[in-house]
Structure 1
Amino acid sequence: MAAEKLTDDEHRQVAKEMHALWQAGARKSQLEIDFWGNTGAHGKAFSGYVKRWLGVATESKSKQSGELERLRGLLRAHGISPSSTGDLEEEFRLVGKSRDSALAAVRIQNDPIATFRTETFILLMIIAWNSLFQAILERDGVDYYERDDSGRQVKVDGRPRVLDTWKLMSLAIGAPEWQAVRCNVDFFLGLRNQIAHRYLPALDVVVLGEAQAMRLNFERLLSHQFGDEAALGTRLSVPLQLSGFRNSDANASFRRAQAKLPTDVSSFLAQHRHDVPEEVLESAEYCLRIFLVPVTANHEHSADAAVHFVPMDKVTPAMKEELQQLGVVTKRRRTPVASADLLRPSEVVNLVVERPPYRFTMTTHTRCWRHYEVRPADGAKELDATDDRYCIFDRLSRGYGYTQAWVEKIVRDLSKPATYETVVGIEPDMR
């Protein structure tokens, strides 16, 4: 039976049938052979399958054996073999890798003196999700390797190539109830591709809500699939460098930083938030918004907990009204960025500078647009007389935006020494 082709309802039905046969006297190992052709699980796969899809335990344990199993599970979840042989199932190797990567991501993001925080957080969390999806599929016996047209595994440097993260996610958590979680992971998959090899400190504020949601989503799925022993909860804390405690001058500085995000990144953020369904946009699994209201401790036990979390479904209309008055309840706007696909001159330079073998500066860029006449000279009367393949005049900002095609043309032409000298007017200077 191809488990990856079954829906959740079909899995539950199969689990009910197997459980009924077992209660009627069938051996677990024989059921594993009959249903899956699995001759090596010796009842373990049956027990895990029924526990996952029916929530029914088929192993009776004494209190002592239950505690031993919990400790074994704790070791396995941390990537440590509980046996003297040192053997560890592949699913738990992947769980250990996943946890380590997630903890490293949280540690970097919560470090107030770290730089490149959000960029590193995203990269490490994608690795954590990728490993967690593989662990789920490995445990469930679902094939998660790329295969060619003949069905053979695709290999790179002699090792089988795993499916990309999006495909792994679709196999591991494809059910409707995980939609908001999938949208959140998809948000960061796309953002990772946008920010690779770039330093964008403003992201620390701009995607804080989505990052918080990603942390909790990961913790939820990890515990749901591999038990409380695998949870990160005891290793996480609320970061104190939250923007809610900053003064107005600091907040203004962050708003100015956000305005400096590259146009293509701003465009991606706005477009993704615009495209997701309304119920996903408002879900805490897509973007977690936390409202901090400072309070004082009036008596000895008032400060037992520094932070109290109130789930949004527990917030009463009266509380919402009060928060509205405080100005902390906001609705995310779905307005796409105007001129979202255009680049500033500085962004063109940043995208080009490392690609041709020759030196490229803002002056070089100016000489390029003048040579190709993609826009009028400064002071011209017809400001919108541009070559719209490469440049467009923005009436509101009274400036010029450049296209990705312009970047590719520059890279292509200025990689040739003769063309470089013709366009720029000087001999090419190696970087």
Structure 2
Amino acid sequence: MVDASRDEAQLAVRLYNDPAETRSFEGFVVHMHLAWLYLLHGEMTRAGVDFRYWRSQGRVRRVERIDGEPKRWDLATCVRHRWPDEKDPVRANLGFFIGLRNKIEHRYARQQDALTAAVGGQSQALLVNYDEELTREFGVETSMATRLRFPIFIGSFTDEGERTLRRLRSRLPAALRTFIADYDAGLDETTAHDPRYDFRLRILQELAPKDPDALAVQFTRYDDLSEEQRVAVESMGKKGYVVVREQKRPVIGHGLLKPTDAAREVQEQIPFRFNTALFAKSWKELGVRPLTGDVHPEKTDERYCLFDERHRDYGYTRAYVAKLIRECATETGFRALLGTAPKDKVTGDWVGTPPLSATPPWKRPVPASEELLEDASA
């Protein structure tokens, strides 16, 4: 499923960058839709999630089938399962393209260039989000970075190119302009300005001497700029899109979390209490890292945890925190992973049936064998 997903994403980008393809943008949307669908199906298959549609016939539940094959969740259903928070910018971005696909499929062939200009930021975010999800769940070796390169283009590099793109955007049919405006208006302000929903860039020509170790396209995050630099960037006005490259920093353990910090982030995102003891139980259950004292402490699941040889301790990735949040967000998932009932974060009360160890002896159910002995003595 992952291989098929990557093939679809690669085809989507090839179509998007092909100036001779008359339906290039439609092809990009359709094939990225499939890439995301196969990726999320792959994640759920690995996690043991039943993503088939079921229907009830009286008291009997049956799997829905199409031509004899089980009908499986569509992308919209998969997205709701993967990102329960409606304000999540990745979910918002995918929701935008699901709605846009329904609008443009087999229509608006003459407006492909205008669409590309109008939603270029969302398109870039769709691809970046895909690669981040792919590598987070299936390892850095699956990244599309080595398959896809920044295309050579003119676009908004020239004044005439910019004017042409602006004219194209103004020619969008009213139905598409309304859809884009209504969708954006319905978003939370934080989500609408998040680069995971709309990835906007600003390109500056570099005049410094060439660095043999540098790439042709450099990426600098807005958050990495000083306040003075941010003011300068914002004062440049709205002109074109930007491409940037993550800066290399000599930081050891960058992005890794200590158990206390990781546990706190999990508790903030779920309705239950979650402490370091439960965090330790989670990595033991999932086999994320070896037990303390193991002769090979470095044998971790690198997606979720890394061993620090210098300090002889472990750092946990944000992918692992996200995994715990997903699996512990419901009572069923919490019990399945940790083998115990959760406690309400606010009241501290047990949710559902409390564990036996939390029930006083005189309130515990009497085993059937003891009931029989009591009946016999009576």
Structure 1 position 297, deviation (Å): 4.1
In the alignment, the residues of structure 1 paired with residue 118 and residue 225 of structure 2 have an alpha-carbon distance, to the nearest angstrom, of 25
- Give the conservation status (yes or no) of the 8 Å contact 1:153–1:161: yes
Task: Provide closer, same or farther for how the CA distance between residues 287 and 242 of structure 1 changes in structure 2, counting only shifts above 3 A.
Answer: farther
- Give the aligned partner of residue 146 of structure 1: 53
> 1:172-251 to 2 correspondence within 5 Å?
172-174=82-84, 179-198=88-107, 199=109, 200-201=111-112, 202-241=114-153, 243-245=155-157, 247-251=158-162
Question: Is 1:255 equivalent to 2:174 in the alignment?
Answer: no
Q: What SS does the aligned partner of 1:233 have? A: coil
Structure 1 position 317, deviation (Å): 2.1
Q: For structure 1, which segment, 230-239 or 247-256, has the greater mean C-alpha deviation from structure 2 after superposition?
A: 247-256
- Give the aligned partner of residue 369 of structure 1: none
- Give the conservation status (yes or no) of the 8 Å contact 1:102–1:128: yes
- Letter of the structure 1 residue corresponding to residue 62 of structure 2: R
> 1:382-393 to 2 correspondence within 5 Å?
none
- Give the aligned partner of residue 17 of structure 2: 110
- Give the conservation status (yes or no) of the 8 Å contact 2:155–2:165: no
- Give the conservation status (yes or no) of the 8 Å contact 1:244–1:292: no
In the alignment, the residues of structure 1 paired with residue 225 and residue 98 of structure 2 have an alpha-carbon distance, to the nearest angstrom, of 32
In the alignment, the residues of structure 2 paired with residue 320 and residue 103 of structure 1 have an alpha-carbon distance, to the nearest angstrom, of 34
In the alignment, the residues of structure 2 paired with residue 223 and residue 205 of structure 1 have an alpha-carbon distance, to the nearest angstrom, of 28
In the alignment, the residues of structure 1 paired with residue 211 and residue 220 of structure 2 have an alpha-carbon distance, to the nearest angstrom, of 19
> 1:229-378 to 2 correspondence within 5 Å?
229-241=141-153, 243-245=155-157, 247-298=158-209, 300-301=210-211, 304-328=214-238
Residues 201-241 of structure 1: CA distance to partner in whole angstroms, max 9, x if unpaired?
20111111001011110001111111112221211211222
- Give the aligned partner of residue 132 of structure 1: 39
Where structure 1 has 5 or more consecutive residues not aligned to the other structure, the ranges are 1-93, 331-431
- Report the structure number with the largest CA radius of gyration: 1
Structure 1 position 243, deviation (Å): 2.7
Q: What SS does the aligned partner of 1:131 have? A: helix
Aligned residues: 234
- Give the conservation status (yes or no) of the 8 Å contact 1:145–1:163: yes
Task: Provide closer, same or farther for how the CA distance between residues 209 and 242 of structure 1 changes in structure 2, counting only shifts above 3 A.
Answer: farther
Structure 1 position 172, deviation (Å): 2.8
- Give the conservation status (yes or no) of the 8 Å contact 2:44–2:50: yes
- Give the conservation status (yes or no) of the 8 Å contact 1:136–1:172: no
- Give the aligned partner of residue 167 of structure 1: 77
- Letter of the structure 2 residue corresponding to residue 226 of structure 1: F
Q: TM-score, normalised by structure 1?
A: 0.52
Where structure 2 has 5 or more consecutive residues not aligned to the other structure, the ranges are 241-378
Query: How much is the aligned-residue C-alpha RMSD, in angstroms?
Result: 2.0
In the alignment, the residues of structure 1 paired with residue 117 and residue 141 of structure 2 have an alpha-carbon distance, to the nearest angstrom, of 32
In the alignment, the residues of structure 1 paired with residue 89 and residue 156 of structure 2 have an alpha-carbon distance, to the nearest angstrom, of 25
- Give the conservation status (yes or no) of the 8 Å contact 2:63–2:70: yes
Structure 1 position 242, deviation (Å): 5.6
In the alignment, the residues of structure 2 paired with residue 174 and residue 217 of structure 1 have an alpha-carbon distance, to the nearest angstrom, of 17
- Give the conservation status (yes or no) of the 8 Å contact 2:184–2:192: yes
- Letter of the structure 1 residue corresponding to residue 10 of structure 2: L
Structure 1 position 111, deviation (Å): 2.5
- Give the conservation status (yes or no) of the 8 Å contact 1:323–1:329: no
In the alignment, the residues of structure 2 paired with residue 310 and residue 125 of structure 1 have an alpha-carbon distance, to the nearest angstrom, of 26
- Letter of the structure 1 residue corresponding to residue 128 of structure 2: L
Structure 1 position 303, deviation (Å): 7.8
- Letter of the structure 1 residue corresponding to residue 148 of structure 2: L
> 1:30-109 to 2 correspondence within 5 Å?
94-109=1-16
- Letter of the structure 1 residue corresponding to residue 11 of structure 2: A
Structure 1 position 254, deviation (Å): 2.1
- Give the conservation status (yes or no) of the 8 Å contact 1:108–1:120: yes
